[in-house]
Amino acid sequence: SGALLVLSLFVARDQEYLRLSSPILSLPAQGVDPALYQRLLELNAEMVCAALATVSLEVHVVAVRPVGDAGPQELEDLLVRVAGYANLFKTQLSEEFGIPVWELAAVAEGNDEGIE
């Protein structure tokens, strides 16, 4: 299935940046296996132009790049890369650690912390 991609723009040190994020897992409030964090770091070492990060009680695939010189092809490549990693790792990590895949419906029913 498709990945939710959240696109945001921000300014830091007088430069505009694009942040692309895709939530992939919903973490429990307690009892997260510490091995998950080790696995996220291992996968980060293999990824190109993106990283896995925890945001509140979620795991996201995240990519950040300066906007200034980004051409359409580069932005398309970034979108494809983040969506590809999200689709790959949400299933892989969910099965490996028994953690549920992130779902928009679950966030909407509970609260809006996961919506940026």
Express each pLDDT in 48-90 by its tens digit.
Answer: 999 999 999 999 999 999 888 778 888 899 999 999 999 999 9
pLDDT tens per residue across span 88-116: 999 999 999 999 999 886 555 555 444 43
What is the structure's pLDDT at 68? Answer: 83
Contacts of residue 37, Cβ cutoff 8 Å, sequence gap at least 6: 54
6-110 maps to CATH 3.30.1460.10: yes
Q: Which candidate, 92, 96, 101, 112, places its Cα nearest to that of 3?
A: 101
Contacts of residue 19, Cβ cutoff 8 Å, sequence gap at least 6: 7, 8, 9, 10, 62, 63, 64
Calpha distance 48→76 (Å, rounded): 15
Residue 104, classified by CB atoms within 10 Å of its CB into exposed (0-12), middle (13-18) or buried (19+), is exposed
* pTM: predicted TM-score of the whole model, two decimal places: 0.84
Torsions phi, psi for 20 (to 5 deg): -115, 125
50: number of Cβ within 10 Å: 21
